[in-house]
Amino acid sequence: TEQRPVTDTAAQPVLPDAQTVTSVTHYTDRLFSFRVTRPASLRFRSGEFVMIGLMGDPDPRTGRQKPLLRAYSIASPSWDEELEFYSIKVEDGPLTSKLQHIAVGDQIILKPKPVGTLVHDALLPGKRLYFFSTGTGFAPFASLLREPETFENYDEVIVTHTCRDVAELTYGANLIADITSDEMMIELLGEENLAKIRYYPTTTREKSAKMGRITTLIESGELFTDLGVPPLDPATDRAMVCGSLAFNKDIAALLEAAGLHEGANSEPGEFVIEKAFVG
């Protein structure tokens, strides 16, 4: 019989900190989500992020490959046995141009050191919790919306998600539809807690039921009128923000103008901000 070198190492982790892809879902030509195995030792608080990636191309001179890593919010809750991520696809993006082609059984690199500011510990108690997101900035909220603690200390959880078009809202819309209809999730989170969720999706470039940047809808007061809630008030309202740098900056200015102060793990406040890292 023919002698061949053994190249099939599929059963062995070939990457440092390798985790195996268990599912991949594509939403649009710009957006996809995937799930990977979770290292047994990885503990995190819902809302945190980790560094993930793939091996880069070999260096043309030395032939050596280096890991190509980016910060990704963990989109799954802390109790989930797998890890979920929600990602943009950028055609010439060093990581996402490759990452978008991963398939079940492939391996990715995951550095098991979670960090982040979008955690309940960084917020003072309040009555109403706002999640303000754009694009893939929804990811940490996909984690937090499946975390029982999110509902414990608030009467309402208002989730805003702004995308260019309707298809880009799918991941978030499906997630909210799933947690409010899935028996296991209803049992875990509680029917009365799920009733606290107010979902407020908006689009900016395609016609939908609600159009406009959330910043504009805050400034005009339309958001509050639509939801039948009073304007932002530091005595009652708390916010977590995740989107592009420009979005975060604009929302922060509006929250500060309303009298809310930014908090941190070491010093809880009335709002916290995290960037949706991969642009």
Binding site for ligand A2P (CB under 6 A): 134-135, 162-164, 204-205, 213, 215, 244, 246-247, 250
Minimum CB–partner distance for residue 122 and ligand A2P (Å): 22
Q: Closest CB to ligand A2P among 163 and 194?
A: 163
Q: Closest CB to ligand A2P among 56 and 277?
A: 277
Letter for the amino acid at 154? Y
Q: Closest CB to ligand A2P among 164 and 196?
A: 164
Cβ neighbours of residue 45 closer than 8 Å, sequence gap 6 or more = 78, 114, 116, 119, 120, 121
- 3-state secondary structure at position 95: coil
Distances (CA, A) of 29 to 9, 92, 137, 139, 167: 31, 13, 17, 18, 10
Minimum CB–partner distance for residue 230 and ligand A2P (Å): 22
Cβ neighbours of residue 89 closer than 8 Å, sequence gap 6 or more = 29, 30, 31, 32, 96, 97, 99, 100
Minimum CB–partner distance for residue 97 and ligand A2P (Å): 17
Q: What is the largest distance, in Å, between two alpha-carbon atoms of the chain?
A: 79
Q: Closest CB to ligand A2P among 48 and 250?
A: 250
Minimum CB–partner distance for residue 262 and ligand A2P (Å): 17
Q: Closest CB to ligand A2P among 85 and 154?
A: 85
Minimum CB–partner distance for residue 233 and ligand A2P (Å): 21
Q: Distance between CA 153 and CA 159 in Å, rounded?
A: 16
